[in-house]
Structure 1
Amino acid sequence: MRMVAVRMAAPPSLSVFHGPVPEEDDVRDPAASGRTGRPVRSRADVSSAGPGETAPGPVEGVPRERDECLPREQDVPLPREQDVSLPPEQAPSGPTVSGVCHGTLGELYQGPLRAGPDPEIAVVSFPVDRHSWVHFTPRATVGPAPLAPPLGEKARRAARLFLDHYGLTLPPGDWHTHSELPVGVGMASSTADIVATLRCLFRVFRLPYDLQVVLGVLAAIERADSVFLDEFALYLSGRHRVVRRLGTDIGFHTAFVTEPGTVDTAAVTPLLLDHYRRRGDEYQRCLTDLVKGFDSGDAAAVARAATVSAALSQEVLPKATFGSLLAHRQRFGADGVFVAHTGCLAGYLYTARPRAHVKADLSAFFHSLGHQCTFAQGGYG
């Protein structure tokens, strides 16, 4: 876990609003919001080596809902550089405002949206009850800048994009951040940091939460997981497009390990795409079975499909522990195996909470493989 406490100051041209903060369920209406921000638009050249801008067709066996995306033919406007000088310790001038976002335990599926020569990378992220927090406490006066940066690089860029979009200036204040999500292992730590920062800023300025603004900011910064949604979704990570929402009926208990090392997603994307072309039909069947499991509320079927996706991933980005996990799955009564496909996580899926003696046996098993076991709840059901 990491914790950073910093303070931020900017020209006090805009005071912080006080009073009730709008919920994220509010739908943004630019005319009603009292501000007319320039539209944040997604761009085709996001930070990804993924496929080009071919419009996805229907996936056989996967019912399709209305796509939720931004116009793809226009760019996100680059922001002005903002003054991010920070004040010294002073008495707060207003209440602390916070933004929170959950992370992931890799994915239940990562592969092509459909079989074909030009695959697009689709994911069904596996939400976990671990979070990133961003807090902002307004201050009365401005002071000199300290040595530490106010936020991580990507979160700072997200804040600048947000302020530029709405034409706002951040008032003097302190940033504090905290995260339960390790960096670089497949838990969506950077995306969660960005989303938590944006959620905090929506609340600082009492603006209705606007998912399209969030998607536009993400598209300008990185390939992302769907942690901005509080439900499962089939998601095109390079295009920042929700293909289909999968609801909140499915949940799992997990036992997993974090293997050493990191994965450079951009560097391995060409390998992934070649693999998806070769095994497109197998991925097509896997995705169809996964979505059917979500549609019927059958967690065991979802776990079986997740195991297939993990096994297919093993052919191109292998996990050292995967073979042992698969071989001993029935011994430990697990319903499936999951991985962070471009990360370092591997573990078991359980549709019911493992009893204490099973947790002890699992811990001993993972210890014999050279790893400390972690237990966590994933999903929603």
Structure 2
Amino acid sequence: MALARCPASCGEIIQGWIEGSEKLVSCPIDWYSEVEITRGSPRGDERPLVRAMVNQVLAHWQLPASLSPHIRIDCRSTIPVAKGMASSTADIAATAVATSRHFGYSLDEATLARLCVSLEPTDSTVFRHLTLFDHNTASTHIACKGLPAMDILLLESPLTLRTEDYHRLPRQQILQASAGELDKAWQLVQKACEHNSPALLGQAATRSASVSQRLLPKPGFDTLVALVEECDLYGLNVAHSGSVVGLLLDREKHDVEEISWRLDAPALQAHWPKRHLLRMVEGGVKER
């Protein structure tokens, strides 16, 4: 038996055309998918991608494919699906690490990332540090040492968007036209981690979120930006290929009750009926 868990993400801190291709830096939060691998019969309700990952791992370690029908996958997660919260990445990454451990092997982060990308575009939550990652090819992963302490008031929309549907959008021209702005955002992310500055990280996220409005606009965005400025929050980030938005703050410094009261305004409440106060955390898959 082996257990592993991987965090969800509140969208991305930044995402766009950076250093020659579309890349992202995910925003890992303290909301997890936990996967348990045991010997046994497969569950009838298992998600297809987690079984596909078991098969990928068996092939990677050159183990017989005939082992797969005798592996049971128990995936425990309450992460909302198809909202830009890296629910699928959390499932398959935890599955990969737990399956490897079940057979006595250990995956490094780069190999884990490649295995995940072979199944679908992958969030950089698979890395311990905040990481600039080519989520389509896994060809780039540049880690930023340091993690500014920050809370996130995650605004959950009822709207859903599958990752594959987002990738069908005609976005290349918009992404490339915004490359200069995203390069600046990436520089801010690096400075934020170097100087342990949540304010700089918030600036980077807000810049990237504003660019994302040209491609996948979030309702009430200007009102949320105004709220950030009026309440002196660090910034806001979005799911660039989903529907959630995060207000970046410090629960000890900022008045979360007042912010929530402002979000109760009918124009915002209709778009963001659910809220979750979470912490940004270190990424990576942890064995348990």
Aligned partners of 1:98 and 1:175: how far apart in 2?
10
Matched, 1:205 2:100: no
After TM superposition, list the pairs within 5 Å mapping 1:1-381 onto structure 2.
96-114=1-19, 119-138=20-39, 148-149=44-45, 151-166=46-61, 167-168=63-64, 169-170=67-68, 172=70, 174-269=72-167, 270-350=169-249, 352-354=250-252, 358-368=255-265, 369-370=268-269, 371-380=273-282
Unaligned runs of 5+ in 1: 1-95
Distance verdict in 2 for CA 1:283–1:133, change over 3 Å? same
Distance verdict in 2 for CA 1:154–1:359, change over 3 Å? same
Q: Deviations over 1:46-98 (max 9, x none)?
A: xxxxxxxxxxxxxxxxxxxxxxxxxxxxxxxxxxxxxxxxxxxxxxxxxx421
Q: Deviations over 1:341-374 (max 9, x none)?
A: 1111112111x3246x822222222222222321
Aligned partners of 2:282 and 2:114: how far apart in 1?
26
Q: Compute the displacement of 1:211 (Å).
A: 3.5
Aligned partners of 1:236 and 1:341: how far apart in 2?
14
Are the equivalent residues in 1 in contact too, given 2:146–2:194 (CA < 8 A)? Answer: no
Structure 1 range deviating more: 130-139 or 315-324: 130-139
Are the equivalent residues in 1 in contact too, given 2:157–2:274 (CA < 8 A)? Answer: no
Q: Compute the displacement of 1:171 (Å).
A: 8.1
- Superposed CA RMSD in Å reads 2.3
Which of the pair has the greater relative contact order for Cα pairs under 8 Å at 6+ separation? 2
Letter aligned with residue 105 of structure 2: L
TM-score normalized with structure 1 length = 0.66
Are the equivalent residues in 2 in contact too, given 1:256–1:373 (CA < 8 A)? Answer: yes
Letter aligned with residue 242 of structure 2: G
Q: Compute the displacement of 1:286 (Å).
A: 2.2
Q: Deviations over 1:198-227 (max 9, x none)?
A: 111122111123434423322321010112
Q: Deviations over 1:316-348 (max 9, x none)?
A: 211013211101113323111111111111121
Aligned partners of 1:200 and 1:227: how far apart in 2?
16
Q: Deviations over 1:229-264 (max 9, x none)?
A: 121101111111343101233231011211222224
Aligned partners of 2:109 and 2:201: how far apart in 1?
27
Distance verdict in 2 for CA 1:373–1:267, change over 3 Å? closer
Q: Compute the displacement of 1:170 (Å).
A: 4.9
* Sequence identity (%): 25
Aligned partners of 1:112 and 1:353: how far apart in 2?
32
Distance verdict in 2 for CA 1:172–1:280, change over 3 Å? closer
Q: Deviations over 1:5-38 (max 9, x none)?
A: xxxxxxxxxxxxxxxxxxxxxxxxxxxxxxxxxx
Distance verdict in 2 for CA 1:165–1:289, change over 3 Å? closer
More helix by share: 2
